[in-house]
Amino acid sequence: MSKLGNLGARLHRGEVGYDFVGNRKLWYGLSILITITAIVGLAVRGLNMGIEFQGGAVFNTPKTSVSVSQAQEYAEEASGHDAIVQKLGDGDEATLRIQVAGIDTQQANKVSAELAEKLGVEESDVTGELVGPSWGEQIANKAWQGLGIFLVLVVIYLAIAFEWRMALAAFVALIHDITITVGIYALVGFEVTPGTVIGLLTILGYSLYDTVVVFDSLKEQTKDITKQTRWTYSDIANRSINSTLVRSVNTTVVALLPVAGLLFIGGGFLGAGMLNDISLSLFVGLAAGAYSSIFIATPLVADLKEREPQMKALKKRVLAKRAQSAAQGESPDAPAGDEPLDDESEDATPAVVGPRNQPAARNRGRGRPSGKRR
């Protein structure tokens, strides 16, 4: 077995582990700091909305040897606005796609004429297309509606399948992931396009998946929790996180690798800028979702759950029993093994594991009369 597989098995059995729930104040503080940074970046810098959301014009040039930086400089001088230039093709056979946001029809005609002059081509060869902001607004409105419906349905489902505390914790984790992703977009300055919106909606499913995996384990391990005095709810919540930790890390890494390829190789080295729109939101959202499912959602459930009178009483009994064990010279810590929650009798007969060796059973009945008359 590999080292990672061995670690995962030991985490699942409870032989090793990290106290995620016990250090929850640290994770809460870190998340608050990151969230505040994202909100400040969003308020100060704002989002770099794409042409689909603020309107503008898209120009396509014929084959040219002009570089992307040169064409961008020409377009910005002609329009007075920021321009985005993409190169389509290789070498002298390449064409250029130039986006200029925030210009109307008259400005678009002027920009088209100046671009043709500076690129050394006929004005009729430079084709232009106006993009109105209404289309982008419709996409944004539909996205907000979809997001709202998604969150409502998620809260209702989790409240029915688990309980309202888990639904609330999952909701907080989703808002946490969205806020961080949008804030990173503001800080980095990447253009927000319909692809960004698609990526933002996609990460919600990944974030929720990791959270539900931990919640399902927690639900199974807390059945009849009040009938024992060995574990508190926080103890079991921490065991649930550790038992699913390797699985969460593996699924996140596997999901992040292709997205990182799109972002860093496709968008960075190959210069396919349009890939940045969706890949950045996916990359940040997947990472934030994995973080929130481990460090935010489950510790928050433990906090909410231990406010119940039953859980408070259980915690007192568990701590009292541990103090008594410590006074008697026994280990006050809860055993690390994956033991049942119900208290076991000390005189209970140990279960037989594996094949039984009972030679007498195999010889049973030999030498006895069969009851048949010969």
Residue 7 has pLDDT above 70, yes or no: no
Looking at residue 204, its pLDDT comes to: 82
Residue 348 has pLDDT above 90, yes or no: no
DSSP line for 159-188: HHHT-HHHHHHHHHHHHHHHHHHHHHHHHH
Whole-angstrom distance, CA of residue 95 vs CA of residue 69:
14
pLDDT: which is higher, 349 or 37: 37
pLDDT tier for residue 88 given thresholds of 50, 70 and 90: confident
pLDDT: which is higher, 43 or 138: 43
Whole-angstrom distance, CA of residue 358 vs CA of residue 304:
52
pLDDT tier for residue 369 given thresholds of 50, 70 and 90: very low
Sign, CA torsion 134/138/143/144: positive
Residue 279 has pLDDT above 60, yes or no: yes
Looking at residue 121, its pLDDT comes to: 81
Looking at residue 342, its pLDDT comes to: 44
Looking at residue 332, its pLDDT comes to: 54
- Region class of 89: left (phi > 0), else alpha (psi between -120 and 50), else beta: left
* Backbone phi and psi for residue 287, each to the nearest 5 degrees, phi listed first: -65, -45
Residue 357 has pLDDT above 60, yes or no: no
pLDDT digits (tens, 9 = 90+) for 170-211: 999 999 999 999 998 888 888 788 778 888 888 888 788 888
Looking at residue 266, its pLDDT comes to: 66
Among the ranges given (204-208, 287-291, 295-299, 367-371), the one the predictor scored with the smallest mean pLDDT = 367-371
Instruction: State the average pLDDT over residues 355-361.
Output: 44
Q: Please answer whether residues 283 and 256 qualify as being in contact, where contact means their C-beta atoms are separated by less than 8 angstroms.
A: yes
pLDDT: which is higher, 37 or 139: 37
Residue 24 has pLDDT above 70, yes or no: yes
pLDDT: which is higher, 27 or 81: 27
Residue 47 has pLDDT above 50, yes or no: yes
pLDDT digits (tens, 9 = 90+) for 59-87: 888 887 788 888 888 888 888 877 878 77
Residue 222 vs residues 21, 57, 114, 240, 366: alpha-carbon distances, Å: 15, 59, 71, 10, 50
Residue 30 has pLDDT above 70, yes or no: yes
pLDDT digits (tens, 9 = 90+) for 120-175: 888 888 888 877 767 767 777 887 888 888 889 989 999 998 999 999 999 999 99
Using a cut of 0.75, tell me whether the model's pTM lies above it.
no
The percentage of the chain sitting over the pLDDT mark of 70, rounded to a whole number, equals 79
pLDDT: which is higher, 272 or 247: 247
Among the ranges given (49-58, 298-307, 342-351), the one the predictor scored with the smallest mean pLDDT = 342-351
pLDDT digits (tens, 9 = 90+) for 220-264: 888 888 888 888 999 999 988 888 888 888 888 888 888 888 777
pLDDT digits (tens, 9 = 90+) for 317-345: 988 888 888 888 765 554 433 444 444 44
Q: Please answer whether residues 58 and 128 qualify as being in contact, where contact means their C-beta atoms are separated by less than 8 angstroms.
A: yes
